[in-house]
Amino acid sequence: MTQAKELALPQMRATPSTWRRWLAQAETPYALISGLAFFLTWQVAVDAFDFPAYLLPSPLAVLKDLVLSWDLLLSETAVTLFEIVLGFIVSVAIAMPLAILFTYSRTFERLVYPIIVGTQTIPKVAVAPLFLVWFGFGLLPKIIIVTLITFFPIVINAVVGLKSLNMQTVYLAQSMGASPLQVFWRFRLPNALPSVFAGLKVAIVLAVIGAIVAEFVGADSGLGYLIIVAATDQNVTRQFSAILILSVAGILLFGLIGLLERQLLPWHSSVRRDALVDS
Amino acid sequence: MLIKIEDVTKTYSTRNGPIRALDPLSLDIKQNEFVSIVGPSGCGKSTLMMMLSGLVSHSTGRISIAGKPINGPYTDIGIVFQQDTLLEWRTVIRNVLLQAELRKLDMVKYTERARHLLEIVGLKDFENMYPHELSGGMRQRASICRALLHNPPLLLMDEPFGALDALTRDQLNVDLMRFWRESPTTVLFITHSVSEAVFLSDRVVIMSARPGRIEDVVDINLPRPRRLAIRETPQFLEYSRRIGRVFESSGILRED
Ligand SMILES: Nc1ncnc2c1ncn2[C@@H]1O[C@H](COP(=O)(O)OP(=O)(O)OP(=O)(O)O)[C@@H](O)[C@H]1O
Ligand SMILES: [Mg+2]
């Protein structure tokens, strides 16, 4: 007994000092530093070369616009964010059941898969004007476009994940008397989650693009609409404000999915922090 | 008679045509008997075990356990697969407890038993680790605990100690012997180690190269309980030599 125990023990990692660990784990400080450096360079460049504001506004000018027009920007941001999130949720709600059907029915996959791939090759910008005719200026065409654009990576990754359960694990489940439903919930789905999250991460970034494309084509509110209006007014600073908000929103949404992934899948290697520290 | 295997064969159909894995094979295993199977790699040991558990179908012949013919997964069983099949998203203890969860056993009682088993195999301090944090041998030990958790009346073990160092292997041999004495159960044990087979078993089944046949069956009449030192006794060495001679005479082992 003692032998087995002793053989087992001297295995685990050596703990690096706390601050090193923190530095290696935390990404935020690094992002802040590089972000700050970026804006500083931008500011200095604008000052030094004296760019006219209608070509490239300085970060300080953009900041001023953000502060002065915060209420307008906030309400437009809320509109776009709502489209992004709702479209994303609808997309997940359609894509996941579809992925499950694909996994369990080869026939269904053969029938429907080509259609999905086919629709995917059509650029969404090309069909957006059609939706304008069919569904008007409201929320619906935006949701449809966001869903269309995000749905493919979610399905593909979910199918890959759901199919990756190895035969031996199925055998294990069966030897324990697991029903097909239990095999799905306790084995197949958890096994697929890392892959599902990979799809969600791609999709959330695409969702931002989808919402803006939809607003460009026809909208009366939202950040995309704001950019179009600012462009006709030749208000470059306003355009930069909107772009800045969009990129921050994109980063936050992406980070949110990553956070959810870390909470739900603490075991998963791509979110395993000690792997980063040790290597 | 608990297990009856009669004229069972297995032919896998593959892209390159059918592969004959087992020639007609018959074997009876008594209640609470410890039977080991030794044989060259690829001779169909794992195949035989998978067919006995009903997870893989046999091509011809009959298999029955306690009079019931095997036609689908047989669940009154504990299996250690050749590759450990731990679920990466569950901690060690929750991997072991999976057995109790799916069988709807009393979780409180079996959590205690899981801890006890993990302690026996030296994984006490690792119960809350994830499989990726364990070594190969530790993973295999955890899957042994999972197979033993519910005290199965039939235990199938496919080279469970193959990935372990000699010391740990000896230790686990002793532990398995003690476990088997304390809660007797029928064991089919696949191994590459002749001395491990002789040490543990009531009977050693020697299989020929693919397509597998039973070359010989050797009864091991060594007194129990056995201690590791028994491996140096003349009787033990005689058994090992006998098995070795079967390998040589059947051409499984060639020296020149
Ligand atoms: N799923 C499968 N499909 C096709 N052929 C298979 C399959 N599983 C096993 N075989 C074939 O059956 C034969 C026996 O395989 P098996 O895994 O039972 O051997 P084994 O005795 O357990 O070998 P080892 O000691 O290396 O584990 C092999 O030659 C292999 O080619
Ligand atoms: Mg094998």
pLDDT, tens digit (0-9, with 9 covering 90-100), for A79-138: 999 999 999 999 999 999 999 999 999 999 999 989 988 888 888 888 888 888 898 888
**Inter-residue contact B218 to B181 (CB < 8 Å):** no
* pLDDT band, very low/low/confident/very high, at A270 (cuts 50, 70, 90): low
Measuring CA to CA, which residue among B22, B5, B18, B8 is closest to residue B154? B5
Q: Which residues of B143-152 are buried (b: 16+ CB within 10 A; e: fewer)?
A: bbbbbbbbeb
Q: A49 CA distance to ligand 1 centroid (A)? A: 73
pLDDT, tens digit (0-9, with 9 covering 90-100), for B48-94: 999 999 999 999 999 999 999 999 999 999 999 998 899 999 999 99
Q: Which atom of ligand 1 is nearest to the CA of B47?
A: 18
Mutate to test the interface with B, among A176, A191, A268 (most CBs of B within 10 A): A176
Chain B residues with beta carbon closer than 8 angstroms to that of A193: 89
pLDDT, tens digit (0-9, with 9 covering 90-100), for A146-193: 999 999 999 999 999 999 999 999 999 999 999 999 999 999 999 999
Q: Does A172 touch chain B (CB under 8 A)?
A: yes
- Residue having the nearest C-alpha atom to atom 7 of ligand 1: B12
The response to whether residue B121 sits with its C-beta less than 6 Å from ligand 1 reads no
Pairing state between β B154-158 and B186-190: parallel
pLDDT averaged per 10 residues, chain B (length 256): 90 92 94 95 93 95 94 94 93 96 95 94 93 90 95 95 88 91 94 94 93 92 92 95 89 72
* Residue A11 to residue B135, Cβ atoms within 8 A: yes
Measuring CA to CA, which residue among A209, A206, A85, A83 is closest to residue A156? A206
**Inter-residue contact A231 to A222 (CB < 8 Å):** no
Average pLDDT, rounded, for chain A: 86
Q: B252 CA distance to ligand 1 centroid (A)? A: 17
Chain A residues with beta carbon closer than 8 angstroms to that of B133: 12
Structural domains of chain B sorted by starting position, each given as residue range(s) with its CATH number in brackets? 1-77+154-168+186-256 (3.40.50.300), 86-151 (no CATH)
Number of CB atoms found within 10 A of residue A181's CB:
8
The pLDDT value recorded for residue B164 is 84
ipTM over 0.85: yes
The pLDDT value recorded for residue B204 is 97
* Residue B168 to residue A3, Cβ atoms within 8 A: yes
The response to whether residue B12 sits with its C-beta less than 6 Å from ligand 1 reads yes
* Residue B123 to residue A8, Cβ atoms within 8 A: yes
The pLDDT value recorded for residue A18 is 66
**Inter-residue contact B157 to B184 (CB < 8 Å):** no
**Inter-residue contact A28 to A34 (CB < 8 Å):** no
- pTM reported for the whole predicted model: 0.84
